[in-house]
Structure 1
Amino acid sequence: MAKERMLRFVTVAREMPEKRPPDLRSQDFHEIYRDYATDKAEEQSARCSQCGVPYCQSHCPLHNNIPDWLRLTAEGRLQEAYELSQATNTFPEICGRICPQDRLCEGNCVIEKSGHGTVTIGSVEKFLTDTAWEMGWVKPIKPAKERAESVGIIGAGPGGLAAADVLRRRGVQVTVYDRYDRAGGLMTYGIPGFKLEKPVVMQRIAQLENGGVQFVLNCNVGQDISFDAIRGQHDAVLIATGVYKARDLAVPGVGAGGVVAALDYLTASNRKGFGDDLPQADAERLNAEGKRVVVIGGGDTAMDCVRTAIREGATSVKCLYRRDRANMPGSQRETQNAEEEGVEFVWLAAPKGFTGGAQVEGVMVQRMRLGPPDATGRQSPELIEGADYVEPADLVIMALGFEPEDLPAQWEQPDLKVTRWGTVRADFQTHATNLPGVYAVGDIVRGASLVVWAIRDGREAADAILNYLAQGAVVAAE
């Protein structure tokens, strides 16, 4: 029966959920893809080839059992499909929305390689979990037995929350500390609503709160509470702070008004979406309405910025990137969405400074060409002499990536080992740091990376912490 339902990739074409027209979706911050109807989700799942070596699964950081939950979806066994998908993923509805499937599961789909178009894995994953929430299949967190041990988690982003979920389900007392006034990290304040509507994040946080996870918000470790105090209050500590320090440019005019960091801009936009009142200066400085906007960078954060600026009513939005389209690090799907919405991409262009004095008026642009590959295998950009020009701009958003903050200094922990890049040094499998009972996960270990990798790290670290707590119980018993 299953074989009859599957292997339909030859007769059934790949079909994504309907995308809202650009002229409509660019007017608001709602998600741009509509939901699958049940019969369409079943039809698209039936395109899976059920191959013997599922490259979609092996290229998923969480190793989700994708072929099996696609088969269950095709058979109409949606609750079973959801339960299988969430068995390895703490937040499948979030991954279904924001994972770069074109680089991970879908990009390695066998039928994609054979020219038939990949299975729409991410859209089916989103459909399954949204259906599960609607139908009440997402169960509350109810530990079978409460335990006395407690774990402190610093950072309420995907890594910290994934660990909190695993630990709390095992009865461990969990407290999450975060610098912001809402939990969720970049899922709440860094990713725009048109990719991830905020109620989707808030319902998971509510599930954790209702399940007994304690949140201490507006808490900046090293200022409001010391790291030593957190260690003293808990049996183990998990560092999941992420990386928030924006990379900067050492060029003339970088301190001018109107030259802002990407995260500051996206956070302000998301706060407005929550209905928060921003300080007047920030409301004016971090608003693209009526401005000529230039975004510098080619990653997913840059794509978030250009598409946000379109929705805020910018008169023009241009994205400068020093390599060409084929060599940009961001999702090609997001680039296409941005172009549809009116963003202009200026490839092989790099900033050399800003004009205008106290208030930016333009970006001094150097034209580039691609030379030999660098150490990563990507072609290195080279300067074209005499091809400079000025791109007019009222607001320049720098989306150049993020670096780790100096945690040993901020937390007065000189013994905490870090790498030469400033990331926390942690064991690859257990995520243990050199400090006893202290673990670290996500971007603060990997450098700026994907939500799905943070979720994997958080789940793995939670298992390691449970083993560590068990060893302590054995020692105490002896």
Structure 2
Amino acid sequence: MAKQPMLKFVQVERDMPEKRTAEVRKEDFGEIYSDYIAAKAEEQASRCSQCGVPYCQTHCPLHNNIPDWLHLTATGRLEEAYQLSQATNTFPEICGRICPQDRLCEGNCVIEQSGHGTVTIGAVEKYITDTAWDQGWVKPVSPSRERVESVGIIGAGPGGLAAADTLRQAGVQVTVYDRSDRAGGLLMYGIPGFKLEKDVVQRRNDLLADGGVTFELNCAIGEDISFSDLRAKHDAVIIATGVYKSRDLAMPGSGATGIEKAIDFLTVSNKKSFGDDVAEFNSGQMNAAGKRVVVIGGGDTAMDCVRTSIRQGATSVKCLYRRDRANMPGSQRETQNAEEEGVIFEWLSAPKGFTDDNGKVSGVMVQKMRLGQPDASGRQAPEVIEGADYIEEADLVIKALGFEPEDLPTLWDQPELPVTKWGTIKAAFNSGATEMDSVYAVGDIVRGASLVVWAIKDGRDCAEAIIASLNAAQAVAAE
């Protein structure tokens, strides 16, 4: 009888790829985890219990066929594992790096629930696709036939790019419009290199271009081309702009210089890493070097900001969050990485204003909190502890408070564009269709600020809906 290649979770312990030491990794913006070697990837994949009801798969937004590609990896059939992985995920090597696996697939692993430590799904996923790139298995889209219909996609983030890939596989002509100078959206400019090195994103952009996707960069809708002209130019339009308007704090002293938005800080840092000449960095405005940095917020963006500040050479980095560690929205794994690198977390702490020295921020007025009764969301609501205020000295304050949608109906002169009371676009579940004819929307501009993996799902689903609509129209025309 052949030796059982799986269910080795009892004999084999969970073992993540080696992580560079904090002292070494905080000196650069390179990714902090090394790659698996083949034997280690096979070993860790073999820990999968091959569940009859795989909760890892059901809790993945893309419903990736995780147990099967783990089995293929464990048995050395890596090219087949890659083919199965990419069948449901447009960017598996990116999701393997940045998905919060501890909240999704790995967090719902059955062997984790039984005390054996979850399968390292994300690390194996990254290994499979990185190997596929190295071996030349990743090929540009080559549709069996070209179609005459075209789709314009506004936004070159993960949702827009996933839609572009799916549409090109069906032979649809695709043009992606983006106001930035590089495609990728937050993958390129919002997420730091220590979580996602930018050549990983760029090679996907290049692959899409090689597969026939046209990119119109430095192109702002409403300025360089009107939304109406875009609709007239294409058979369908997908809005995949994401949400980039930062939530703000209206409190005393908030007009002082040295108080910056997280997205601006991260974008400047990433541009500097590209070698761009960035005035805001060169002037010191968004350079943490030699400064006492305070980051306000507890999500993944806040984690990106504190860890970027460490690498820029801040003298101290503190993170203020109004709830406790157990109730923070960011990844626990990222919080641990930040602590290892020297970030100090001030839990149950919220800003109430800012102090300044001749108009330059000098500190954050902090009020201490305690957790009270649950609010409408079910989370314990923070309450102020009277008389426990203090001032946290700071030379640079970064607000990482989340994002809201821009006012697209006004920006694009499209008052009939349907939006919700939150400013997100109203779109049908699964298809992304809006009430405007042949106009669709996907990703964060529909959901609000969410995960990359959800944007990928939305982009793929929307593209499939558009292809079905084009096929139906073609069938009617042929009658």
TM bucket normalised to smaller: over 0.9
CA RMSD, Structure 1 to Structure 2 (Å): 1.0
Distance in 2 of aligned mates of 1:30 and 1:201: 14
User: For residue 45 of structure 1, what is the aligned residue in structure 2?
Assistant: 45
Query: 3-state DSSP class of the match of 2:319?
Result: strand
Task: Please list, as runs of the form range in 1=range in 2, the aligned pairs for 1:68-467 lying within 5 A after superposition.
Answer: 68-279=68-279, 283-356=283-356, 357-467=358-468
Tell me the CA shift for residue 430 of structure 1: 1.1
User: For residue 470 of structure 2, what is the aligned residue in structure 1?
Assistant: 469
Query: What is the letter of the counterpart of residue 169 of structure 1?
Result: Q
Query: 3-state DSSP class of the match of 2:295?
Result: strand
Distance in 1 of aligned mates of 2:405 and 2:414: 15
Tell me the CA shift for residue 280 of structure 1: 5.2
User: For residue 5 of structure 2, what is the aligned residue in structure 1?
Assistant: 5
Tell me the CA shift for residue 476 of structure 1: 2.9
Query: 3-state DSSP class of the match of 2:368?
Result: strand
Asked if the contact 1:158/1:184 (under 8 Å) is kept, the reply is yes
Tell me the CA shift for residue 451 of structure 1: 0.2
Asked if the contact 2:48/2:70 (under 8 Å) is kept, the reply is yes
1:267-295 Cα deviation digits (max 9, x unpaired):
00000110000125764111000000000
Distance in 2 of aligned mates of 1:285 and 1:3: 61
Structure 2 runs not aligned, ≥5 long: none
Asked if the contact 1:157/1:240 (under 8 Å) is kept, the reply is yes
Distance in 2 of aligned mates of 1:417 and 1:220: 20
1:101-121 Cα deviation digits (max 9, x unpaired):
000000000000000000000
Query: What is the letter of the counterpart of residue 358 of structure 1?
Result: G
* Higher alpha-carbon deviation: 135-144 or 13-22: 135-144
Asked if the contact 1:2/1:75 (under 8 Å) is kept, the reply is no
1:221/1:2 CA distance change after superposition, 3 Å: farther
1:262/1:232 CA distance change after superposition, 3 Å: same
Query: What is the letter of the counterpart of residue 188 of structure 2?
Result: T
Distance in 2 of aligned mates of 1:2 and 1:116: 25
Query: 3-state DSSP class of the match of 2:222?
Result: coil
Asked if the contact 2:245/2:406 (under 8 Å) is kept, the reply is yes
User: For residue 64 of structure 1, what is the aligned residue in structure 2?
Assistant: 64
Query: What is the letter of the counterpart of residue 421 of structure 1?
Result: W
Asked if the contact 2:272/2:281 (under 8 Å) is kept, the reply is no
Distance in 2 of aligned mates of 1:347 and 1:367: 9
Query: What is the letter of the counterpart of residue 61 of structure 1?
Result: P
User: For residue 32 of structure 1, what is the aligned residue in structure 2?
Assistant: 32
1:44-77 Cα deviation digits (max 9, x unpaired):
0000000110000000000000000000000010
Tell me the CA shift for residue 2 of structure 1: 7.7
Query: 3-state DSSP class of the match of 1:467?
Result: helix
Asked if the contact 1:437/1:468 (under 8 Å) is kept, the reply is no
Distance in 2 of aligned mates of 1:199 and 1:328: 31
Asked if the contact 1:290/1:313 (under 8 Å) is kept, the reply is yes
1:251/1:38 CA distance change after superposition, 3 Å: same
Query: What is the letter of the counterpart of residue 43 of structure 1?
Result: E
1:15/1:67 CA distance change after superposition, 3 Å: same
1:122/1:248 CA distance change after superposition, 3 Å: same
Distance in 2 of aligned mates of 1:376 and 1:40: 42
Query: 3-state DSSP class of the match of 2:60?
Result: coil
Asked if the contact 1:44/1:120 (under 8 Å) is kept, the reply is yes
Query: 3-state DSSP class of the match of 2:333?
Result: helix
Query: What is the letter of the counterpart of residue 404 of structure 1?
Result: P
1:464/1:313 CA distance change after superposition, 3 Å: same
Distance in 1 of aligned mates of 2:324 and 2:103: 18
Tell me the CA shift for residue 207 of structure 1: 0.2
Query: 3-state DSSP class of the match of 1:361?
Result: strand
Q: TM-score, normalised by structure 1?
A: 0.99
Structure 1 runs not aligned, ≥5 long: none
Distance in 2 of aligned mates of 1:16 and 1:281: 35
1:106-159 Cα deviation digits (max 9, x unpaired):
000000000000000000000000000000011121111111000000000000
Q: TM-score, normalised by structure 2?
A: 0.99
* Higher alpha-carbon deviation: 351-360 or 146-155: 351-360
* Higher alpha-carbon deviation: 211-220 or 319-328: 211-220
Query: 3-state DSSP class of the match of 2:175?
Result: strand
Equivalent residues, number:
478
Tell me the CA shift for residue 223 of structure 1: 1.3
Distance in 1 of aligned mates of 2:410 and 2:394: 37
Asked if the contact 2:268/2:280 (under 8 Å) is kept, the reply is no
Asked if the contact 1:431/1:457 (under 8 Å) is kept, the reply is yes
1:25-50 Cα deviation digits (max 9, x unpaired):
00000000000010000000000000
* Higher alpha-carbon deviation: 414-423 or 392-401: 414-423
Q: Percent identity?
A: 73
1:280/1:89 CA distance change after superposition, 3 Å: closer
1:154-188 Cα deviation digits (max 9, x unpaired):
00000000000000111110000001000000000
Tell me the CA shift for residue 471 of structure 1: 2.2
Tell me the CA shift for residue 17 of structure 1: 0.2
Query: What is the letter of the counterpart of residue 261 of structure 1?
Result: K
Asked if the contact 1:350/1:365 (under 8 Å) is kept, the reply is yes
Query: What is the letter of the counterpart of residue 305 of structure 1?
Result: C
Asked if the contact 2:280/2:286 (under 8 Å) is kept, the reply is no
Distance in 1 of aligned mates of 2:269 and 2:283: 9
1:440/1:92 CA distance change after superposition, 3 Å: same
Query: What is the letter of the counterpart of residue 211 of structure 2?
Result: G
Distance in 2 of aligned mates of 1:359 and 1:313: 20
Query: What is the letter of the counterpart of residue 353 of structure 2?
Result: G
Query: What is the letter of the counterpart of residue 401 of structure 1?
Result: G
